[in-house]
């Protein structure tokens, strides 16, 4: 029931995932049964099961209040299925704050985890890097950033197939003494950590030049970075058009630019990297999609979540944190 176009795009994505998966999938759709049956129509399949969850947490609701007031929501029931082993993974495009709060309440955190974190994917000249945290922790401490680095490294090994991902700390300068107290405190912890390959401070301009495989920052900065990236592919084509008009260039060349930026825009689309992001640090397998996700993103996220469950991503993160303890 989460997302701008739910439940139709979620149902369509689930049906696509059931058809395209290399191995058989059993997909459960949580939400008001009557509404989901109507949306599913005559496309019913044995691979997709509807589970009645009569309450819905809206995108604009207060996360903590909604989690307490709506225990029969689709988010609650889905997470409880993951906890009980009736589902190997849970994913939602719903209220991010509610998912994070409910996941910690129902699943709990992995041993030693203080703050779960959400990574995101950023296109670079050499492929992609992970940026975390991108919004689940607006106020962090140095030790929180260290855990983000450790969990991000474990996820980069899973996602990018890297044995030793390079970790960078986002700051206002490359020198060790640059940054606010949070960054300077985190720098010392990163440098002493034995289980991450720390390559030092990096600046915002280094992200798309692939200054590191994993870029660590607090959630406030990370969310600004994420939203700035999303704006690139809408603003740059318009800036080019304005310059072409100002210089009196033939607009037929704009078609070529549109083709180029069409491919580049795809690399800024979350579905290009699996459709959604995991909630790292909770004692379960949870993926969060963007609220505007369409069926293709839902399909890819379901397949990514299945892969994470079968390859024991949670165990890999837990192991990385134990080695750091």
User: What's the chain's Rg over C-alpha atoms?
Assistant: 21
Q: What is the predicted pLDDT for the residue at 280?
A: 94
C-alpha to C-alpha distances, 160 to 10, 26, 147, 166, 261, nearest whole angstrom? 26, 26, 19, 12, 24
Stronger pLDDT, 255 or 8, i.e. the higher one? 8
Stronger pLDDT, 320 or 84, i.e. the higher one? 84
Q: What is the predicted pLDDT for the residue at 61?
A: 86
Average pLDDT, the chain: 90
Q: What is the DSSP string of 257-302?
A: HHHHHHHHHHHTSGGGGTSEEE-BTBSS-EEEE-TT--HHHHHHHH
Residue 146 tokens read as: 């260290």
Rounded to an integer, what distance in angstroms lies between the CA atom of residue 99 and that of residue 111? 20
SS3 170: strand
Q: What is the predicted pLDDT for the residue at 253?
A: 77
Is the pLDDT assigned to residue 324 strictly greater than 70?
A: no
Is the pLDDT assigned to residue 254 strictly greater than 80?
A: no
Exposure string over 232-247, b if 16+ CB within 10 A, otherwise e: ebeeebeebeeeeeee
Token look-up 């070529």 returns 256
Is the pLDDT assigned to residue 281 strictly greater than 80?
A: yes
Residue 132 tokens read as: 């975390």
Q: What is the DSSP string of 82-145?
A: HHHTS-S-EEESS-HHHHHHHHHHHT-BPTT-SS-B--EEEEETTEEEEEE-SSS-SS--HHHH
Percent of the chain scored above 90 by pLDDT? 63
Q: What is the predicted pLDDT for the residue at 269?
A: 67
Neighbours of 268 (CB within 10 A): 17
Q: Please answer whether residues 238 and 153 qualify as being in contact, where contact means their C-beta atoms are separated by less than 8 angstroms.
A: no
Find out whether the peptide bond into 133 is cis, omega within 30 degrees of 0. yes
Average pLDDT over residues 232-261: 80
Average pLDDT over residues 35-54: 94
Rounded to an integer, what distance in angstroms lies between the CA atom of residue 55 and that of residue 67? 11
Q: What is the pLDDT of residues 290-310, one digit of tens each?
A: 888 899 999 999 999 999 898
Q: What is the DSSP string of 128-155?
A: EEEEE-SSS-SS--HHHHHHHHHHHHHH
Q: What is the pLDDT of residues 98-154, one digit of tens each?
A: 999 999 999 999 998 988 999 988 889 998 899 999 888 888 999 999 999 999 999
């Amino acid at each position: 029931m989460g997302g701008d176009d739910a439940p139709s795009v979620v149902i369509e994505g689930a049906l696509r995932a059931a058809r395209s998966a290399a191995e058989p999938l059993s997909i459960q759709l949580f939400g008001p049964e009557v509404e989901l049956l109507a949306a599913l129509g005559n496309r019913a399949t044995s691979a997709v099961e509807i589970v009645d969850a009569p309450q819905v947490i809206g995108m604009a609701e207060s996360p903590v209040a909604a989690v307490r007031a709506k225990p029969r929501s689709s988010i609650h029931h889905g997470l409880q299925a993951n906890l009980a082993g009736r589902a190997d993974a849970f994913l939602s495009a719903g209220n991010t704050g509610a998912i994070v709060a409910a996941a910690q309440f129902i699943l709990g955190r992995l041993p030693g985890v203080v703050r779960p974190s959400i990574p995101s994917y950023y296109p670079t000249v050499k492929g992609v890097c992970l940026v975390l945290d991108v919004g689940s922790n607006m106020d962090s401490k140095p030790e929180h950033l260290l855990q983000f680095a450790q969990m991000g490294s474990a996820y980069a090994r899973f996602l990018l197939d890297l044995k030793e991902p390079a970790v960078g700390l986002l700051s206002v300068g490359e020198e060790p003494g640059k940054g606010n107290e949070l960054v300077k405190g985190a720098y010392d912890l990163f440098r002493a950590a034995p289980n991450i390959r720390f390559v030092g401070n990096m600046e915002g301009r280094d992200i798309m030049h692939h200054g590191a495989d994993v870029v660590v920052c607090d959630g406030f900065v990370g969310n600004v970075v994420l939203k700035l990236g999303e704006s690139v592919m809408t603003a740059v084509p318009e800036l080019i058009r304005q310059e072409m008009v100002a210089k009196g260039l033939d607009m037929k060349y704009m078609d070529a630019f549109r083709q180029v930026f069409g491919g580049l825009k795809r690399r800024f689309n979350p579905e290009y990297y699996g459709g959604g992001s995991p909630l790292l640090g909770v004692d379960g397998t949870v993926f969060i999609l963007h609220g505007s996700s369409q069926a293709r993103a839902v399909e890819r996220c379901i397949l990514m979540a299945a892969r994470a469950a079968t390859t024991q991503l949670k165990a890999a993160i837990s192991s990385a944190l134990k080695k750091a303890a």
